[in-house]
Amino acid sequence: MKAASTSDYRELARRRLPRFLFEYIDGGAYDEVTLAANLDDLRSLALRQRVLRDVSAVDTSTTLFGRSQRLPVALGPIGLAGMNARRGEVQAARAAEAASVPFTLSTVSACSLDEVAAGVSAPFWFQLYMIKDRGLMRAMLEKAAWLGCSALVFTVDMPVPGTRYRDYRSGLAGAAGLAGAARRAWQGACRPAWALDVGLLGGPHQLGNVAPVLGRDTGLEDFFRWMRENFDPTITWRDLEAVREAWSGPLILKGVLDADDARNAASLGADGVVVSNHGGRQLDGALSTARALPEIAEAVGERLTVLADGGVRSGLDVVRLMALGAKGVLLGRAWAYALAGGGGKGVSHVLQLIEAEMRVAMALTGVTRVEDICAEILAGAPRDRAAA
């Protein structure tokens, strides 16, 4: 099967990954209402097609947090992405570097900060959770700064982990002991290409940044138990002040869905926010990104760089979110599917598809620059009398 879209890479990922890993990427919380809304609400936005405009020179480049990049996108943080392909985060970071867009390494990555930094020459972003082990958190912050990470993405919507039914059904969660390990091993054995490439040749799997506290031979059960025990439900805005003091570079809060929270972020010194519901993986029934974004962009768009994620499967979706007020878009499942289905080359291909789709969408809505993408390109928006 030759992939021509993100949907094709999703199918390739389903065929290649053990079930427990595919369901981990693909699933959302509870009945997945918000996961579906992210997709449906975004795709329901009709674009206003314009004709007879000179669109011979479409420019998709932009600047985020002082750095020029080829597209207004970044690869968002994906936990355990390195299990989708051999040393997967390194492959994805290299693809992002080649495309001149940022890559974001998750706190709970398979590859460590050191490994990713050794694999690329361009600075990348680092994502941080507020965890109870403040010593480990400070050590990761210091390591990220020392390695030259150019932005910190501080995830604030996970004081407790959401419940994902698919993880229980697949055996990733709730299947403890030898029975659970045997179930996952069988699923891996049913995907021999993955088992060889990732399970054997891709080792050792040390769960990267948390290896110092988990040890070298940590299983998935130990990892998820550590996550449950170390996410900190006591986190408040005061903790953001401490992070701001400890990090001198751009600070981006990820997981904001409320305009008042965005205003608090601005007042406490954040440089950006990501309007996000964690891909529908936390609070099922929360607002979709497309519904939450316009109010937040209106409230803080002049004070913060407003980014967004959730439901993005194409360059057309990137344009839609930017029309709603985002200055940049984080890709999540789109690059995770591509990594699983095609490795680093798959991630590079998805970024090429995003760019090509953006160029067509921009040309057919009559805009040639990223900064000109606005609500006027949505159907029902006020007409541009000067250009009509």
Tell me the pLDDT of the chain (388 aa) as tens digits: 899 999 999 999 999 999 999 999 999 999 999 999 999 999 999 999 999 999 999 999 999 999 999 999 999 999 999 999 999 999 999 999 999 999 999 999 999 999 999 999 999 999 999 888 888 889 999 999 999 999 999 999 998 888 999 988 988 877 666 777 788 888 888 899 998 988 776 676 677 788 777 765 566 667 777 777 888 899 899 989 989 999 999 999 999 999 999 999 999 999 999 999 999 999 999 999 999 999 999 999 999 999 999 999 999 999 999 999 999 999 999 999 999 999 999 999 999 999 999 999 999 999 999 999 999 999 976 554 344 4
Active site residue 278: yes
pLDDT digits (tens, 9 = 90+) for 239-289: 899 899 999 999 999 999 999 999 999 999 999 999 999 999 999 999 999
Residue pair 285/162 in contact (Cβ under 8 Å)? The answer is: no
Active-site residue identified among 86, 278, 320, 333: 278
Q: What is the DSSP letter of 149?
A: -
- The yes or no reply on domain 6-377 and CATH 3.20.20.70 is yes
Angle at 255 between CA 249 and CA 261, to 5 degrees: 85
Residue pair 95/351 in contact (Cβ under 8 Å)? The answer is: yes
Distance, in Å, from the CA atom of 377 to the CA atom of 362, rounded to the nearest integer, reads 9
- The two beta strands, 73-75 and 328-331, are parallel
Length of the chain: 388
Which helix (H) or strand (E) element contains residue 135?
helix 134-146
pLDDT, residue 44, reads 96
Distance, in Å, from the CA atom of 339 to the CA atom of 333, rounded to the nearest integer, reads 10
pTM of the model: 0.94
Give the C-alpha distances (Å, rounded to integers) separating 181 from 82, 177, 221, 259: 19, 6, 9, 43
Distance, in Å, from the CA atom of 158 to the CA atom of 131, rounded to the nearest integer, reads 10
Domain residue ranges of the chain, discontinuous segments joined by +:
6-377
Residue pair 288/32 in contact (Cβ under 8 Å)? The answer is: no
Give the C-alpha distances (Å, rounded to integers) separating 124 from 73, 152, 321: 13, 9, 23
